[in-house]
Amino acid sequence: MTTMQRPYPARLTGRIDAPLRRWLWLVKWLLLIPHFVVLVFLWIAAVVLTIVAGFAILFTGRYPRGIFTFNAGVIRWTWRVSFYGIDCFGTDRYPPFSLQPDPGYPADFAVDYPERLSRGLVLVKWWLLALPHLIIVSIFAGGWEVGSNGSAWRIAGSGGLIAVLAVIAAVILLFTGEYPRPIFDLLMGLNRWCYRVLAYVMLMRDEYPPFRLDTGGPDPGTPVGPMPFSPYGAAAGTPGPTAGQPAASSPRHSSEPPGSAAPAGTAGPVS
């Protein structure tokens, strides 16, 4: 009997946005300097607001929705920047200066809003319970501290195994003109692991992140539906149910406020 793997309520998606220019990855870090400056201040605010949210959860059992939406937006912004020029080099489209979902951008992050959270877990999950994951993430992303200046950026990725694999893929792109799909799928799995842990450490979910690599562009928790055109065709298209696995259903609550544009990972899976 096959055991079903339950999708995690924090979803990271991305797709190779071909054609990619062979040389642009060499200067993307320079082009991203304005984003780095903004992200420093955004993460300072996100860390402070996470502490505020922690006290709110401790006394009320609820994560203030405004803070939740802001923090999810900061993580989304970070992932777009990382996907463009640090941890994937998966697109040449410059990331938008926005916290909001952008269905047209090939990378997205979304996390379901929890109606209730455990008051007791808020005291231990961000450090004690997360410690095994943080050790693993330190290998993947080159750092795992959260709370000091710039540390939240490190847990999301900026070094370690992810950076090495991203550079290898970029060098292959430089000489062949093609992005190696197996490396891309592995990079997505590694980043997905890191960002799930990040959402957990930022107190956004009580569900413990799984110890598994969900490789490939579409997140297993992404609802099935139409997606933008991809030059990779069916291999990068909408992920239908695999053998013995039903299609994921659309979550009732997400990090986006009512009436906002649906993220790329919600309007349709990307890869």
Q: Does the pLDDT value for residue 176 go beyond 70?
A: yes
Q: Determine contact, residues 95/38, Cβ cutoff 8 Å.
A: no
pLDDT digits (tens, 9 = 90+) for 48-102: 999 999 999 999 999 999 999 999 999 999 999 999 999 999 999 999 999 999 9
By mean pLDDT, which of 12-16, 23-27, 99-103, 146-150 is the weakest?
A: 146-150
Q: DSSP assignment, residue 95? A: P
Region for residue 147 given its phi and psi (left: phi exceeds 0; alpha: psi -120 to 50; beta: otherwise): left
Does residue 243 sit in helix, strand or coil?
Answer: coil
| Confidence label for 6 from pLDDT (cuts 50, 70 and 90) | confident
User: What average pLDDT score do residues 192-219 get?
Assistant: 97
pLDDT digits (tens, 9 = 90+) for 114-125: 999 999 999 999
d(CA 190, CA 199): 15
Please report the pLDDT score of residue 63 as a whole number. 98
Nearest CA to 121 out of 9, 7, 200 is that of 200
Q: Determine contact, residues 43/153, Cβ cutoff 8 Å.
A: yes
Angle at 238 between CA 107 and CA 214, to 5 degrees: 65
| Confidence label for 224 from pLDDT (cuts 50, 70 and 90) | low
Please report the pLDDT score of residue 270 as a whole number. 36
Please report the pLDDT score of residue 221 as a whole number. 80
Q: DSSP assignment, residue 150? A: T
By mean pLDDT, which of 50-54, 143-147, 206-210 is the weakest?
A: 143-147
In one-letter notation, the amino acid at residue 7 is: P
Angle at 75 between CA 14 and CA 100, to 5 degrees: 80
The chain-wide mean pLDDT, for the chain, equals: 82
Please report the pLDDT score of residue 159 as a whole number. 64
By mean pLDDT, which of 26-30, 87-91, 148-152 is the weakest?
A: 148-152
